[in-house]
Structure 1
Amino acid sequence: MRVLFSCVPAIGHTYPLLPLARAFARRGDRVAFMTAAGMTPVLAAEGFDHLPAGPMPDALFAEAAARTGQDAAADPTPESVSAFFGEIRLDTTADEAVAVAREWAPDLVVNELTDTVGPLVAAVLGAPLATLSFGPGVPAEFRTAIAASTAPHFTARGLDAPATLPAGRWLLDLCPDALGPVGIPDGVTRLPLRPEAHRGPDGDVTPALAPPAPGRPRVLVTFGSHFGDPEIVLDLLTAMRDGVDAEFVGTALPGAGPAEPRLVPFQPMAGLLAGVTAVVTHGGAGTVLGALSLGLPVVVVPQGADQFIQAAAVTAAGCGVATAPGRPDPERLRAAVRTVLEDPAYAAAAADVRKQIDAMPSPEEVAAALSGAI
Structure 2
Amino acid sequence: MRILLSSTPAYGHILPLLPLARAFRDRGDSVALITAEAMAPVVAGEDIEFLPAGPDSLAAVAEVLRTTGHDLWQGVTVEAEAEFFAGARLDLGINEAVAAARAWRPDLIVAEHLDFVGPMTGAICGVPVASLAYGPALQPESVDATAARARRRYEARGLAYEPARWYLDTCPPALQHPGWKAPDSRITLRPEAHRNPGPMPPAPAERGDRRPRVLLSFGTVYASPQLINPLLRELLTQDVDVRVTHNSATPDEFDVDPAVADRFELVAFTPHAELVRDVDVVLTHGGAGTVLGTLAEALPMVVVPLAADQPIQSERVAAAGAGIGFPMGEADPRAVAEAVRRVLAEPGYKSVAAQIAAQIAGYGAPADVAEHLATALAR
- TM tier, shorter chain? over 0.9
Which position in structure 2 is the counterpart of 1:329?
332
Which position in structure 2 is the counterpart of 1:277?
280
Report which stretch shifted further, 224-233 or 110-119: 224-233
Alignment map for 1:322-361 (pairs within 5 Å)? 322-326=325-329, 328-361=331-364
Check conservation: 1:317, 1:349, Cα contact below 8 A. Answer: yes
Whether 2:195 is the aligned partner of 1:204: answer: no
Deviation, 1:301, is: 0.2
Distance, in Å, in 2 between the alignment partners of 1:200 and 1:306 is 25
Partner-residue secondary structure (3-state), 1:45: coil
Which position in structure 2 is the counterpart of 1:180?
176
Which position in structure 1 is the counterpart of 2:222?
227
Deviation, 1:338, is: 1.1
Deviation, 1:278, is: 0.5
Distance, in Å, in 2 between the alignment partners of 1:346 and 1:73 is 34
Partner-residue secondary structure (3-state), 1:20: helix
Deviation, 1:257, is: 5.4
Which position in structure 1 is the counterpart of 2:245?
251
Partner-residue secondary structure (3-state), 1:109: strand
Which position in structure 1 is the counterpart of 2:121?
121
Deviation, 1:58, is: 1.6
Which position in structure 1 is the counterpart of 2:67?
67
Which position in structure 2 is the counterpart of 1:28?
28
Which position in structure 2 is the counterpart of 1:217?
212
Counterpart amino acid of residue 198 in structure 1: H
Partner-residue secondary structure (3-state), 2:45: helix
Counterpart amino acid of residue 156 in structure 2: A
Instruction: Label 1:318 to 1:171 Cα distance change in 2 as closer, same or farther (>3 A).
Output: same
Report which stretch shifted further, 331-340 or 68-77: 68-77
Deviation, 1:258, is: 4.5
Distance, in Å, in 2 between the alignment partners of 1:300 and 1:16 is 19
Whether 2:365 is the aligned partner of 1:362: answer: yes
User: Over residues 155-187 of structure 1, what are the superposed CA-to-partner deviations in whole Å (9 max), with x where a residue is unaligned?
Assistant: 22210124xxxx20111101011112595686x
Deviation, 1:61, is: 1.9
Check conservation: 1:232, 1:327, Cα contact below 8 A. Answer: no
Which position in structure 1 is the counterpart of 2:258?
none
Residue correspondences, number: 365
Partner-residue secondary structure (3-state), 2:44: helix
Check conservation: 1:140, 1:183, Cα contact below 8 A. Answer: no
User: Over residues 48-106 of structure 1, what are the superposed CA-to-partner deviations in whole Å (9 max), with x where a residue is unaligned?
Assistant: 11111012112212332343344546733221111110110011100000110011111
Check conservation: 2:230, 2:333, Cα contact below 8 A. Answer: no
User: Over residues 8-65 of structure 1, what are the superposed CA-to-partner deviations in whole Å (9 max), with x where a residue is unaligned?
Assistant: 0110000000000000000000101010111111112111111110121122123323
Counterpart amino acid of residue 7 in structure 1: S
Counterpart amino acid of residue 14 in structure 1: I
Instruction: Label 1:73 to 1:280 Cα distance change in 2 as closer, same or farther (>3 A).
Output: farther
Counterpart amino acid of residue 161 in structure 2: A
When normalised by structure 1's length, the TM-score is: 0.92
Counterpart amino acid of residue 228 in structure 2: V
Instruction: Label 1:5 to 1:74 Cα distance change in 2 as closer, same or farther (>3 A).
Output: farther
Check conservation: 1:205, 1:270, Cα contact below 8 A. Answer: no
Deviation, 1:277, is: 0.3
Check conservation: 1:323, 1:332, Cα contact below 8 A. Answer: no
Regions of 4+ moved over 6 Å: none
Which position in structure 1 is the counterpart of 2:259?
none
Which position in structure 2 is the counterpart of 1:144?
144
Counterpart amino acid of residue 364 in structure 1: A
Distance, in Å, in 1 between the alignment partners of 2:376 and 2:196 is 29
Aligned residue among 299, 303, 325 for 2:302: 299
Check conservation: 1:73, 1:304, Cα contact below 8 A. Answer: no
Counterpart amino acid of residue 194 in structure 2: H
When normalised by structure 2's length, the TM-score is: 0.91
Which segments of 5 or more consecutive residues in structure 2 lack a partner in the other structure? 255-264
Partner-residue secondary structure (3-state), 1:54: coil
Check conservation: 1:234, 1:250, Cα contact below 8 A. Answer: no
Deviation, 1:259, is: 5.4
CA RMSD after TM alignment? 1.9
Distance, in Å, in 1 between the alignment partners of 2:57 and 2:166 is 27
Counterpart amino acid of residue 116 in structure 2: T
Which position in structure 1 is the counterpart of 2:80?
80
Check conservation: 2:129, 2:166, Cα contact below 8 A. Answer: yes
